[in-house]
Structure 1
Amino acid sequence: MMHKDEVKGSAKKLRGEVKDKIGKATGDDKLRADGAADKAEGTLQKGVGKAKDAVRDALKD
């Protein structure tokens, strides 16, 4: 089962990818930077969710 942080992280990463692509297409460097930050934050949050899942699964056994 996915932890809510994994879901939120995936959504944030996707949002960042969209911002980056729109920023690249329009030449908006600020939007690209915002997109890169969202992607990094989403990746980190997804990793935290996976770690929480691993701990929860380990404690079940």
Structure 2
Amino acid sequence: MSLVHKRSSDWENKNMDKDRLAGSAKQIKGKIKEVSGKILGDAKLESEGKAEQVAGKTQNAVGGLKDTLKGE
């Protein structure tokens, strides 16, 4: 195996599915909204944050499944 091929395959192994990355970002954004809603006493913002976290967890799980099916 050449050095170029080895580096290429290393990158592919570390490359996560885009759904996993987007899902993690949604979870973080949702947590920020939830905490902001609690601090500000805004129940709507808090519940939006919780819903966004659930959506992020779901998207992350879909990405994990895709990674598993790809054999990563």
How many residue pairs are counted as aligned between the two chains? 58
**Could you tell me how far apart the structure 1 residues matched to 2:46 and 2:36 are?**
8
TM-score (norm 2): 0.78
Structure 2: state its 5+ residue gaps: 1-14
**Could you tell me how far apart the structure 2 residues matched to 1:10 and 1:21 are?**
17
Q: Between Structure 1 and Structure 2, whose CA radius of gyration is higher?
A: 2
Query: Among residues 37, 45, 49, which one is paired with 1:35 in the alignment?
Result: 49
Which runs of 4 or more aligned residues in structure 1 lie more than 2 Å from their structure 2 counterparts after TM superposition? Answer: none
Percent of aligned pairs sharing the same letter: 40
Question: Relative CO higher for 1 or 2, CA cutoff 8 Å, sep ≥ 6?
Answer: 1
Q: Over aligned residue pairs, what C-alpha RMSD do you find? A: 1.0
